[in-house]
Amino acid sequence: MDTPASQHPVQDDAAAQTRTTQTRTTPSRATPSRQRIDALLAATPTDLFINGQWRQAAAGASFAVEDPATGETLTRVASADETDALSAMDAAAEAQDSWARTPSRVRAEILRRGFDLVQDHAEELALLMTLEMGKPLAQSRGEVSYGGEFLRWFSEEAVRDHGRYADTPEGNLRMLITRKPVGPCLLITPWNFPLAMATRKVAPALAAGCTMILKPAALTPLTSLYFTALMSEAGLPGGVLNVLPTDSPASISGPLMADPRLRKISFTGSTAVGKQLMKQATENVLRTSMELGGNGPLIVFEDADLDKAVAGAMAAKLRNMGEACTAANRVLVQESVAEEFIAKLAQRMSALQVGSGLEDGVDVGPLIDAKACTSVAELVDDAVRRGAEVVVGGQRGDGPGHFFAPTLLRNVSPEARVVREEIFGPVAPVLTFSTEDEAVAMANATEYGLASYVFTENISRGLRIGDRLDFGLLGLNVGVISNAAAPFGGVKQSGLGREGGAEGIAEYTSTQYVGIESPWSG
């Protein structure tokens, strides 16, 4: 690793919070030097991680990881194939029984040491994320804090995963209800939050007693590989966490999902890919958790605090360059305040600085690749052809890198693709409504149901609207609501299952009922 941290005893919450706060508030704001970047890349693993060992791909294949701000190759990473996948499955299956029988306190302390190591290496992780994904360093640092919290949260949940013991109503039996680890899992993570999506899956699986195979996105594997090295340093036994980067996902997901030893798949990504994986999962009746696409509405009522609503819209729309399933895809504003809201939002968006996420003062980094830029440009062009007006932005950047200007659209047709499809870019289409019923109908007019946002100073109205919205998440007068202690997930074609919170560990357990003869039955 770059600057290895020695293992250290689990610390109390106050000390750990002090460490986290120090990490957040004292990093250098200077643009990282080429020397520092090269040293970090040289220290970051680029091989597969199977049975506690770093190894090259069986076929010797590799793929390039690029910097989306420049298009330049950062490094090359080993590319796993079916042979590697089955080796990882062997390791996970072999380790499953001993890991399941490992006392929950031991599992908890490994997770807590992992949390501490993530805090120790926060700057390295943040820099890796910015290099391979593009987001500004400040946002990468925020993801380290958020992602690390899943390790701390599930270290605490590991020792509280209780069953129950009770008499049957008839009194003839006593019921022993236990929760057991579901078994080896396949965890497939996306490119947009390279650390948080890994910790959100790995931490509850470890806490529950499951072994796993992690497949990070080919666009951003470096953060996951660095994180894996930290978890190994934290004391994770060989075979418990196996990591397979690859630029041919089907070559490993297919064989793994056909293997009867695999018992669960957890996937975060597009709805189209999720549907295909769910079809494959039926063959072996695998447990599935799916966190899929989104088309989140952000609703602003006439009684909203408009400054608060604009701040919420900026956070919900432009965090991560809009490349988030929780992004506010559509901004719905009540007619009487639409002009004022648009003017305030335009002022904020036009002031944003676009550039490399490595540079101090940059608010919006590049999109992940050229394909993403083209997709966003096509959505904007379609909206304009249908009558939309570009208030701010609307164009791709010049020169190298995959930049797209923060864009505000008004007078957007409900039939525009930018309203119906997930944007995954810094584009905010504004539509207007007149009544509550109309707002709800517009918001629910999508096959997706992940995140939604409502701004109103009338809390009764906010809760009333929330009850009518078909979404798994609701931000009421806030634009960012994700938290390790809260259940995250959607309805309809946004997926099934929940990650985070007390619900998160249940996704990795199965329930067993043991009926015991009552001592009073004779």
User: Over the chain, what is the mean pLDDT?
Assistant: 93
How long is the chain? Answer: 522
Structure tokens at 336: 């009487």
Split at pLDDT 50, 70, 90, the class of 510 is very high
Contact in structure between 89 and 1 (CB atoms under 8 Å): no
State the span(s) of the chain assigned CATH 3.40.309.10. Answer: 296-445+451-483
Q: Which of 109, 291, 323, 507 is catalytic?
A: 291
- Residue position matching structure tokens 């958790």: 289
Q: What is the pLDDT of residue 104?
A: 97
> How far apart, in whole angstroms, are the C-alpha atoms of residue 41 and residue 507?
35
Percent of the chain topping pLDDT 70? 94
Q: What is the CATH number of domain 296-445+451-483?
A: 3.40.309.10
> How far apart, in whole angstroms, are the C-alpha atoms of residue 225 and residue 121?
13
- What fold does the segment set 48-63+79-160+181-293+498-506 form as a domain? Aldehyde Dehydrogenase; Chain A, domain 1 (3.40.605)
Split at pLDDT 50, 70, 90, the class of 282 is very high
Q: Which of 149, 325, 422, 499 is catalytic?
A: 325
pLDDT tens-place string over residues 89-109:
999 999 999 999 999 999 999
Contacts of 340 (CB under 8 A, 6+ apart): 306
Contact in structure between 451 and 325 (CB atoms under 8 Å): yes
> How far apart, in whole angstroms, are the C-alpha atoms of residue 270 and residue 188?
11
Lowest-confidence segment of 124-133, 314-323, 392-401, 412-421 by average pLDDT? 392-401
Question: Is the confidence at residue 27, as pLDDT, over 60?
Answer: no
> How far apart, in whole angstroms, are the C-alpha atoms of residue 214 and residue 195?
12
Does the annotation mark 291 as catalytic?
Answer: yes
Average pLDDT, integer, range 171-182: 95
Question: Is the confidence at residue 522, as pLDDT, over 70?
Answer: no
Q: What is the pLDDT of residue 25?
A: 41
pLDDT tens-place string over residues 217-227:
999 999 999 99
Q: What is the pLDDT of residue 162?
A: 82
Question: Is the confidence at residue 7, as pLDDT, over 50?
Answer: no
Does this model's pTM top 0.95? My answer is: no
